[in-house]
Amino acid sequence: MATTRTIRSVEVLRVTGGRRLTGSVTLPGAKNSVLKLMAATLLATGTSTITNVPDILDVEIMAELLRRLGCEVEHDKDRARVQITVPERPDHRADYDLVRRMRASICVLGPLVARVGAADVALPGGDNIGSRGLDMHVDGLRRMGAEVTSEHGYLLAQASERLTGAETWLDFPSVGATETILMAAVLADGTTVIDNAAREPEIIDICTMLQEMGAVIDGVGTSTLTIEGVASLHPVEHATVPDRIVAGTWAVAAVMTQGDVTVRHAHAQHLSIALEKLVTAGADVDILDDGFRVRMGRRPAAVDVVTLPYPGFPTDLQPQFIAMNSVAEGAALVTENLFEARFRFVQELARLGADVRTDGHHALVRGRRALSGAPVEATDIRAGAGLVLAGLVAEGTTTVYGVGHIDRGYAGLVPALVGLGADVERDLVTE
């Protein structure tokens, strides 16, 4: 039987290397925060407004998920804001066709159990960077009185009565588990304590919004959160914290291209370790009132990196630093302690000529003076960013496939790069 080959068009980024980046960029709101803020609106009947919203694909996916839960969602991209009107009783089923595209969809679990006593959430998909189990999410909800089971690819949570406050110790300071338990606890009866809670700026952001909604939370920014449940919350308007990972990506781009880039609307204190690493690599970093400036006048020196939960070095900047080390002077050891499959992208980086050897959760990177442009595939958001940065310094043109991943985390990446002097364009190819 003859087979028919389907021809389709896919978007790619064509990056021609050799340009020095100069100028300024303004940060959008954080991807890792805005999606959780949107989910948190489920905790209060009425209309909440979130501002400083990044124009990324994941926001559209979360908006559609909330619509299917019965909410009205208006996304004004020109004003970078989302208005979400939550009904008295939202629906409680988050379907697979949306959840598979974005792991952050799991963050509706806690609010739905707290508000309506039930949640059917498809087991999530998202970036292919390793297993991220939901055991801590489930354990926290069970401690508060919910019954949680898994059937036919869905996580089913039910609470016949209001959740009850409980003490929870997280084996690992998981951002997702902290958020799930936190958002369930704000409407529970009594006191909930989360020990070994995540401390990321995005956790502080969601705590701030919940407090504005009327939640009672102590210990914000520390590893122990104490939540006194309240009877109800009210809608609010809240501005999303700036995206520290996008800020770090621009900083690395400046160093790799030996450029001079000012990042506006950034909180430099959220990137203290990463910026210190860039200083070690030879960059000049100036902290400004509304951001920071990174200048580099020579080939960077290789720097070792060990990823850890905040305030340690962020795993979401690990691919960008591997890309930098691939053209640095000397050799560096990069240790990944959070996601076991995050080194998958080095196979694509090797196609550009990078010398990276992996062994378990370690990667030895030997810097080379030049990379060579080639077709590569982005397997997740940050891998895509790392490959684009490598393309900026590679000889010739690098064609980056898997643009959809990049679009999930970087709003307006191409025009921003072009504005800094890069030779980058979005194109359609057939395959």
The pLDDT of residue 126 is above 50? no
Q: What six digits make up the tokens of 42?
A: 């489920």
Within 267-400, residue ranges assigned H as helices are: 272-280, 318-325, 346-350, 381-393
For residue range 201-245, list pLDDT tens digits in order. Answer: 999 999 999 999 999 999 999 999 999 999 999 999 999 999 999
For residue range 13-71, list pLDDT tens digits in order. Answer: 999 999 999 999 999 999 999 999 999 999 999 999 999 999 998 899 899 999 999 99
For residue range 306-339, list pLDDT tens digits in order. Answer: 999 999 999 999 999 999 999 999 999 999 998 7
% of the chain beyond a pLDDT of 90: 84
Would you state the pLDDT for residue 5?
61
In angstroms, the Cα distances linking 208 to 35, 198, 216 are 15, 15, 10
From CA 427, how far away is CA 38, in angstroms rounded? 32
Q: Known catalytic residue: 78?
A: no
Cis amide prior to 173 (ω within 30 degrees): no
From CA 120, how far away is CA 137, in angstroms rounded? 14
Which of 55, 76, 97, 127 is labelled catalytic? 127
The pLDDT of residue 127 is above 50? no
Q: Tokens 């959008």 belong to which residue?
A: 28
When the candidates are 3.10.450.350, 3.40.50.970, 3.65.10.10, 3.10.450.240, the CATH number that belongs to 9-28+242-430 is 3.65.10.10
The pLDDT of residue 277 is above 70? yes
For residue range 348-397, list pLDDT tens digits in order. Answer: 999 999 999 999 999 999 999 999 999 999 988 999 999 999 999 999 99
In the predicted model, what is the mean pLDDT of residues 139-155?
91
The SS3 of residue 32 is: helix
CATH level 3 topology of 31-239: UDP-n-acetylglucosamine1-carboxyvinyl-transferase; Chain (3.65.10)
CB neighbourhood size of 237 (10 A): 13
| Residue 245 contacts residue 261 (beta carbons within 8 Å) | no
From CA 349, how far away is CA 21, in angstroms rounded? 21
Higher pLDDT, residue 430 or 340? 430
Q: Who contacts 415 (Cβ-Cβ below 8 Å, separation ≥6)?
A: none
| Residue 331 contacts residue 363 (beta carbons within 8 Å) | no
Q: What six digits make up the tokens of 13?
A: 């980024």
The pLDDT of residue 4 is above 70? no
Report domain extents, the chain.
Answer: 9-28+242-430, 31-239
The pLDDT of residue 196 is above 60? yes
The SS3 of residue 417 is: helix
Average pLDDT, the chain: 93
Would you state the pLDDT for residue 128?
39
In the predicted model, what is the mean pLDDT of residues 111-129?
77
User: Is-same-fold flag (9-28+242-430; 31-239)?
Assistant: yes
% of the chain beyond a pLDDT of 70: 96
Angle between helices 381-393 and 318-325 (to 10 degrees): 20
Would you state the pLDDT for residue 8?
80
| Residue 405 contacts residue 379 (beta carbons within 8 Å) | yes
